[in-house]
Amino acid sequence: MRTWRVGTFSMGASLLFLGIFLLVSRIFGYSLMNIMMAWWPTLLVVLGLEILLFLILTKQEKPYLKYDFLSILFVGLLGTAGIGFAVLSSTGLIEKVEETLSRQEKTLDLPGFSQNVEGEISRVVVETENFPITIEGTTEREISIFGKYRAHLGKNEVLVEDVEDYLSVQKKGDSLYVSIKGLPSETGPFEQYTSLDVTLLVPNDLKLEVAANENEVTMKPRTLQNDWSIDRASSVAVHLQENSDINLSAVGVQELNSTGHEWQVSSPENQESAGDPAKEYTEPNKNGSLKMGEGTHRLNIMNTYSVSLNSLP
């Protein structure tokens, strides 16, 4: 006579239901993580039904349950895995893993910004994070900022929705303070790579001061009509028109490059390296100047590793 061991029916039914769930997920495109989290309670239901059916159908006065150890172990492992998925889902970790695995590298436009500077604004102060920036002079009477950002994003995810997500602009007296902030990022196992490329248009008759914070800066002042300065960039590429009226000055830099023009180079006063091992093995800083036209307006570059000069048509 065949002996019914509790667990054999549960294991068979569990495999059957798991196969059905997986087949449905493939046909309708459901998430495998969601299937695993929704399916595991079926194990407890099937196992409980099997025990109840055995107790109802057995003809013994004192029924004695016999368990199939391997089947119960298999069902238990599947149930434990399901409970683990549910616990991780309650902490948000499962969703985070799914989001990370589905990310793609995308390049999107930044929300544009414009502000009229008619009236009392005579000075613009710009502070940047560690992202490259291009600054151009314009004859328009407004400051404009636009650009692109690159990040690993989910299907419908947008990292920058509003101007305030990457930009802060404040007016104080006759000065306008523009701060280009870093993009939102994550640390730890889900660290996200992001990059930002911004173009800033500044009226060429306003005074401009840029705190670059060791990032790359591209300058296109065009017909400059005021003094501009850049401090602490990693590198500055200056593009000047042949008819420019600019006195270009580089102070405390290590490399000076030029296409079609010659720098007047000198060493900073009181520069000493003797006795300082750190300075003995690095290239000494230098100062450079270059004048185009009458040199009426100054473009000062300070505390930057390299400065290169190129000509615009």
pLDDT tens, residue by residue, 152-170: 777 777 778 889 888 999 9
- Are residues 72 and 164 part of one domain? no
Residue type, 214: E
Domain boundary residue, one of 77, 101, 125: 101
| Contact indicator for 165, 212 with CB cutoff of 8 Å | no
Q: Per mean pLDDT, which range of 68-72, 116-120, 248-252, 277-281 is the poorest?
A: 277-281
- Are residues 171 and 158 part of one domain? yes
Confidence of residue 275 (pLDDT cuts 50, 70, 90): very low
Domain boundary residue, one of 76, 101, 126: 101
- 281 assigned to some structural domain: yes
SS3 label, residue 165: helix
- Are residues 288 and 186 part of one domain? yes
- 132 assigned to some structural domain: yes
Domain boundary residue, one of 69, 101, 133: 101
- Are residues 135 and 18 part of one domain? no
Q: Per mean pLDDT, which range of 34-38, 280-284, 289-293, 299-303 is the poorest?
A: 280-284
- 1 assigned to some structural domain: no
- 2 assigned to some structural domain: no
- Are residues 182 and 271 part of one domain? yes
Reading phi first (left if > 0) and then psi (alpha if -120 to 50, else beta), residue 211 is in beta
How many other CB atoms are there within 10 angstroms of residue 96's CB atom? 14
Q: What gap in Å lies between CA 167 and CA 209, rounded to an integer?
A: 17
Tokens of 109: 């436009």
- Are residues 308 and 206 part of one domain? yes
Q: Does pLDDT of 212 surpass 80?
A: yes
- The reported pTM is 0.67
- Are residues 81 and 161 part of one domain? no
70-128 per-position pLDDT tens digit: 766 766 776 677 667 666 666 666 666 666 666 777 888 999 999 998 788 999 999 98
The residue segments making up the domain with residue 27 are 8-101
- 205 assigned to some structural domain: yes
Tokens of 151: 């990040």
- 294 assigned to some structural domain: yes
| pLDDT score, position 88 | 64
Instruction: Please spell the DSSP secondary structure of 115-140, one letter per residue.
Output: EE--SS--EEEEEE-SS-EEEEEESS
- Are residues 86 and 141 part of one domain? no
- 177 assigned to some structural domain: yes
- Are residues 164 and 235 part of one domain? yes
- Are residues 117 and 94 part of one domain? no
Per the prediction, the chain carries an average pLDDT of 79
- 153 assigned to some structural domain: yes
- Are residues 225 and 134 part of one domain? yes
- Are residues 152 and 292 part of one domain? yes
Domains: count for the chain: 2
